[in-house]
Amino acid sequence: MANMHWLEKFFVNGYWDKIFHRYFGLGRLLKKITDENFSSILEIGAGVGITTESIHKKFPRSLITATDYDIAQVDKAKSRLAGTNMVVQREDATQLTFTNNSFDACFAIMVFHHIQDFPKAIKEVYRVLKPSGKFYVIDIQSKLWTLFHLKSFKSLNAAPGLFTKEEFENIFKQSGFKILNHGGKWMFWLAAEK
């Protein structure tokens, strides 16, 4: 895993990201989730907690554990989410420290394209979800990667997770997940069950 480039942090840590997820990204996905009652939720790649706040609004009674690899992002999220029923901690998605069958659901919003070994991270989420646990993902296909993205990652000595929607779904199935629903083209979403 790698820390985010400063330019990407500029876009994803502020007002525009919050607006985007309220009306398009996570907001649309959360509207599709009905009749679910999760007692424990894991979010990987929570950043500064913008998406965590939206998940909390949808599931106010759930205990949410928000994680990120970048310690600066974790510190900002801890400050932002202080005094709530949310826990924020640093985690490597490819080596989660949680015990097997710990969570009812997991969210990963625009995360896997940051993880070089994203299949390992998917397997880790499978491990920590309870039987019948749900996994919700929003991400982008490798077709959206520009030369700027690839050069940015190269300068950080990190390689992004590159995948098409179809490749990503196949890795989910190979990891044991059942795909419940999916959609989108360039930016896609999926809902899966352990």
Q: Is 81 among the domain residues?
A: yes
Q: What is residue 186's predicted lDDT score, i.e. its pLDDT?
A: 76
Q: In this structure, what CATH number is given to the domain that contains residue 39?
A: 3.40.50.150
Q: Is 110 among the domain residues?
A: yes
pLDDT (average), residues 132-149: 75
Q: What is residue 114's predicted lDDT score, i.e. its pLDDT?
A: 81
Q: Is 135 among the domain residues?
A: yes
Q: Is 65 among the domain residues?
A: yes
Q: What is residue 12's predicted lDDT score, i.e. its pLDDT?
A: 58
Q: Note the pTM of the prediction, 2 decimals.
A: 0.84
Q: What is residue 113's predicted lDDT score, i.e. its pLDDT?
A: 82
Q: Is 183 among the domain residues?
A: no
Q: How confident is the model at residue 16 (pLDDT cuts 50, 70, 90)?
A: low
State pLDDT tens for residues 68-125: 999 999 999 999 998 888 999 999 999 999 999 999 999 999 899 888 899 999 999 9
Q: Is 102 among the domain residues?
A: yes
Q: How confident is the model at residue 148 (pLDDT cuts 50, 70, 90)?
A: very low
Q: Is 24 among the domain residues?
A: yes
Q: Is 1 among the domain residues?
A: no
Q: What angle do CA 34, 36, 37 make, to 5 degrees?
A: 145
Question: How far is residue 52's CA from residue 57's CA, in Å, rounded to a whole number?
Answer: 9
Dihedral angle, C-alpha 82, 39, 66, 26, nearest 10 °: -110
* Total domains, the chain: 1
Structural domain containing residue 61: 6-177
Work out the percent of the chain whose per-residue pLDDT is above 90: 57
State pLDDT tens for residues 20-49: 656 667 888 898 898 888 999 999 999 999
